[in-house]
């Protein structure tokens, strides 16, 4: 009987030393998280199935020491220090670490260290929680917060900038009216106005890029857009990279938001430049083409028909097939740390799809890359840009306008514009003075023109107060900012409109006359 007990004790002892037969280890194997048991030297005594996967994916596929999973010396030292602290305090410790996988990639983990003491020997249960995705979300949040700060800063600058452009463009218009077209001074003023218009366009692009905007759908010629961007692209790619733009022989009209197209081109050009650290060439081609049903399915286009192809090619390092599978995924990047957010191409794809287009990448390692973008072609033509100055005399009026604008220069220009055409203008520099003025004013006011962003009270709040005193008054909101929330101010399109700074006298007079004429028509009816 005693021999039987000894033999049974030995069997139990052998059984208990076999990790895979132990109940606790079997439970560990069923858990979806990597679990290790190590000593204070980081030697691995046990690893569950998920931990084995981590080792097989690591650079050291036969690692017997947990330190070998970490490439960064700081992570190794952090682990050792935490083991020492845990053995002394006998408390659990959680630390963030990075594990090297697939050679050059890494995953972020929270490492939970739990000390176990048996016969005065200390061992540790190590549990890894993958937080790579959480870190990516955190990075996206930080990026969004940075963009929001940039947007607020840019918006503040653009507001003042657009006020100055209102004066530059507006007073140039008045000067051009005083000189004949053949006069040399008229031509000089025309160039000043063109420069002002380009500056205004740049201001709008900056605001659209950094702030949420309603889509501004317009017909544009992709050939013309690239021609306008040529100088900016050359500065961006540097002297080591040559640029070749191949426009189509005929205009290539597409209906989209111009700022979106410019953002797409800039993102792809930057990627092309970064793929050629030692220099190379970038080729941008625009081509009008008809896509049949076969190729519309091949390129994932919604339907067959006329399209405009935008192809951007480089002579860079190229992209292998594995990377191409993930290239449009958010946060996916092959650039070194600090040089890319992984949001560029995913943003490009999102913008292309927003306009019923498709993007396709063709690339081989060491053989360059070509991005092909297909956008629906339209038969509509762009609205012509008129840099001249001409005001129809039918825009004259005799109505009373209440003008509220905190910028003295802009206020002076608007007042001059209306008084020159017969209107009666009463003005105030801020909402408080406006309220005081209205309280003492005993005549009718036909139109309120108010800036939106002002101290103490915004334009919408001021308009509500004025309407309570003059229920039939019409309202024109003006602002140097661009914000989609402004559309909520337009409660009645027949009596409220919004005009974006910089303002042009001809446009201001035309919009004002149309708004007041609507009021007269409604009164007659």
- Residue where a domain terminates, one of 93, 115, 130: 130
The residues facing 362 across adjacent strands are 370
In the block, residue with structure tokens 């919004």: 498
- Structure-token match 């972020």, residue found: 108
Is residue 349 one of the residues assigned to a domain?
A: yes
Residues 224 and 166 in one domain: no
Instruction: Among 51-60, 304-313, 356-365, 480-489, name the most confident range.
Output: 304-313
In terms of C-beta density within 10 A (0-12 exposed, 13-18 middle, 19 or more buried), how is residue 275 classed? Answer: buried
123-127, 129-133, 242-246, 463-467: the lowest-pLDDT one: 129-133
CA–CA distance, 402 with 393 (Å, rounded to integer): 22
Residues 489 and 368 in one domain: no
The packing angle between helices 431-440 and 459-469, to 10°, is 10
Check if the beta carbon of residue 7 is closer than 8 Å to that of residue 24.
no
The verdict on 309 and 378 lying in the same domain is yes
Domain-located, residue 11: no
Helix ranges (H only) for 247-320 are 258-274, 293-298
Number of domains in the chain: 3
Question: What string of DSSP letters covers 302-338?
Answer: SS-EEEEEEEEEE-SS---HHHHHHTTSTT---SPTT
> Same domain, yes or no, for 342 and 480?
no
Higher pLDDT, 7 or 279: 279
Which residues on adjacent β-strands are paired with residue 292? none
Predicted confidence (pLDDT) at residue 376 exceeds the cutoff of 90: yes
The per-residue pLDDT for 363 is: 87
User: In terms of domains, do 263 and 200 share one?
Assistant: no
* Domain final position from 368, 386, 404: 386
At 524, is the pLDDT very low, low, confident or very high (cuts 50, 70, 90)?
A: very low
pLDDT the model gives residue 520: 62
pLDDT above 80: residue 157: no
Whether residues 296 and 348 fall in one domain? yes
* Those residues with Cβ within 8 angstroms of residue 208's Cβ, 6 or more apart along the chain or in another chain: 216, 257, 259, 482
pTM (two decimals): 0.54
Of residues 188 and 405, more confidence is placed in 405
Q: Which two tokens stand for residue 218?
A: 């317009």
359: helix, strand or coil: strand
Q: What is the mean pLDDT of the chain?
A: 81
Residue identified by tokens 């006329």 is 306
User: Tokens 């607020």 — which residue?
Assistant: 152
Which of 68-72, 208-212, 231-235 ranks highest by mean pLDDT?
231-235
431/214 Cα distance (integer angstroms) = 28
CATH number of the domain residue 350 falls in: 3.30.565.10
Q: Is there a single domain that holds both residue 222 and residue 196? A: no
Same domain (yes/no): 363, 436: no
Is 16 a residue whose pLDDT tops 50?
no
Q: Which two tokens stand for residue 107?
A: 């995953």
**Residue 49 within any structural domain of the chain:** yes
Whether 270 is in a domain gets the answer yes
Residue 501: burial class (beta carbons within 10 Å; 0-12, 13-18, 19+): buried
Instruction: Evaluate whether residue 333 is within a structural domain.
Output: yes
> How do strand 474-479 and strand 121-130 relate by DSSP bridges?
unpaired
pLDDT of res. 386: 54
The C-alpha atoms of residue 375 and residue 110 are separated, in whole angstroms, by: 45
pLDDT above 70 (res 343): no
Q: Which two tokens stand for residue 392?
A: 């129809």
> Band of the pLDDT at 13, cuts 50, 70, 90?
very low
One domain for residues 271 and 396: no
pLDDT of 21 strictly over 80: no
Residue 4 lies in a domain: no
pLDDT band at 132 (very low <50, low <70, confident <90, very high): confident
Residue-level pLDDT at 1? 43
Of the two residues 355 and 487, the one the predictor is more confident about is 355
pLDDT for residue 341 is more than 70: no
Q: Which residues contact 89 (CB under 8 A, 6 or more apart)?
A: none
Measured CA to CA, the distance from residue 399 to residue 148 in angstroms comes to 42
Model confidence band, residue 248 (pLDDT cutoffs 50, 70, 90): very high
Name the more confident of 310 and 71.
Answer: 310
Burial 344-372 (b: 16+ CB within 10 A, else e): bbbbbbebbeebebbbeeebeeeebbebb
Q: Which of 480, 504, 478 is nearest to 388 (CA)?
A: 504
Owner of token pair 């000043």: 192
Provide the pLDDT for residue 344: 66
On whether residue 139 sits in a domain, the answer given is: no
Smallest CA-to-CA distance from 190 within 171, 176, 174, 170 is with 176
Structure tokens at 481: 């900012």
Q: Helix, strand, or coil here: 468?
A: helix
Pair 352, 375: CB distance under 8 Å? yes
For tokens 């390129």, what's the residue?
299
Q: Do 205 and 257 touch, CB atoms closer than 8 A?
A: no
CATH code at 49? 3.30.450.20
Torsion of CA 422, 426, 431, 433, to 10 degrees: 170
Determine the straight-line distance between the first and last CA of the chain, rounded to whole angstroms.
Answer: 117
If DSSP codes are grouped into helix, strand and coil, which group holds residue 37? Answer: strand
Distance CA 78, CA 86 (A): 12
Segment 218-222 mean pLDDT: 91
Lowest mean pLDDT among 223-232, 332-341, 456-465, 467-476: 332-341
Do 459 and 361 belong to one domain? Answer: no
Q: Are 67 and 79 in contact (CB under 8 A)?
A: yes
- Beta 241-246 vs 280-291: how paired, if at all? parallel
- The last residue of one of the domains, among 130, 148, 168, is 130
Domain match, 228 and 352 both: yes
One domain for residues 502 and 515: yes
Question: How far apart (Å, rounded) are the C-alpha atoms in residues 150 and 465?
Answer: 33
- Note down the domain range covering 249: 216-386
In a domain, 142, yes or no: no
């Amino acid at each position: 009987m005693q021999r039987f007990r000894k033999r049974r004790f030995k069997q139990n002892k052998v059984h208990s030393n076999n990790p895979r037969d132990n109940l606790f280890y079997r439970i560990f194997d069923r858990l979806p998280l990597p679990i290790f048991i190590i000593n204070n030297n980081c030697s691995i005594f046990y690893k569950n199935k998920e931990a084995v996967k981590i080792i097989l994916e690591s650079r050291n596929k036969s690692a017997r020491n947990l330190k070998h999973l970490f490439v960064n010396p700081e992570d190794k030292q952090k682990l050792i220090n935490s083991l020492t602290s845990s053995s002394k305090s006998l408390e659990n410790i959680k630390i963030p670490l990075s594990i090297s996988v697939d050679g050059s990639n890494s995953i972020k983990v929270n490492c939970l260290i739990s000390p176990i003491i048996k016969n005065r020997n200390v061992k540790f249960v190590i549990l890894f929680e993958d937080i790579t995705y959480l870190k990516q979300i955190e990075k996206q949040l930080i990026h969004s917060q940075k963009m929001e700060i940039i947007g607020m800063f840019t918006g503040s600058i653009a507001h003042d900038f657009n006020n100055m452009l209102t004066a530059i463009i507006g007073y140039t218009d008045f000067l051009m009216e005083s000189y004949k077209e053949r006069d040399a001074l008229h031509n000089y003023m025309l160039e000043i106005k063109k420069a002002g218009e380009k500056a205004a366009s740049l201001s709008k692009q900056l605001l659209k890029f950094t702030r949420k905007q309603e889509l501004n759908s317009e017909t544009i010629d992709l050939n013309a857009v690239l021609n306008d961007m040529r100088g900016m692209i050359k500065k961006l790619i540097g002297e080591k990279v040559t640029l070749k733009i191949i426009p189509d022989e005929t205009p290539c009209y597409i209906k989209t938001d111009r700022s979106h197209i410019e953002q797409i081109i800039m993102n792809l050009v930057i990627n092309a430049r970064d793929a050629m650290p030692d220099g190379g060439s970038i080729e941008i081609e625009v081509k009008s083409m008809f896509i049949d049903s076969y190729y519309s399915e091949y390129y994932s286009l919604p339907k067959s028909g006329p399209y405009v192809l935008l192809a951007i090619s480089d002579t860079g390092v190229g992209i292998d097939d594995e990377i191409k599978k993930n290239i449009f995924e958010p946060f996916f990047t092959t650039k070194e740390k600090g040089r890319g957010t992984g949001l560029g191409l995913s943003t490009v794809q999102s913008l292309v799809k927003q306009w019923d287009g498709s993007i396709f990448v063709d690339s081989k390692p060491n053989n360059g890359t070509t991005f092909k973008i297909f956008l629906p072609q339209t038969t509509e033509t762009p609205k012509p840009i008129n840099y001249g100055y001409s005001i129809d005399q039918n825009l004259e009026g005799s109505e009373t306008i209440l003008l509220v604008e905190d910028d003295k220069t802009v206020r002076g220009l608007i007042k001059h514009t209306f008084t020159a055409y017969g209107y009666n203008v009463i003005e105030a520099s801020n909402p408080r003075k406006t309220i005081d003025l209205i309280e003492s004013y005993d005549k009718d006011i036909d139109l309120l023109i108010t800036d939106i962003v002002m101290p103490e009270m915004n334009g919408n709040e001021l308009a509500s107060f004025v309407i309570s005193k003059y229920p039939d008054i019409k309202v024109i909101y003006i602002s140097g900012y661009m914000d989609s929330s402004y559309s909520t101010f337009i409660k009645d399109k027949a009596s409220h409109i919004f005009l974006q700074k910089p303002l042009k006298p001809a446009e201001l007079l035309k919009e004002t006359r149309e708004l007041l004429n609507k009021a007269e028509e409604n009164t007659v009816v």
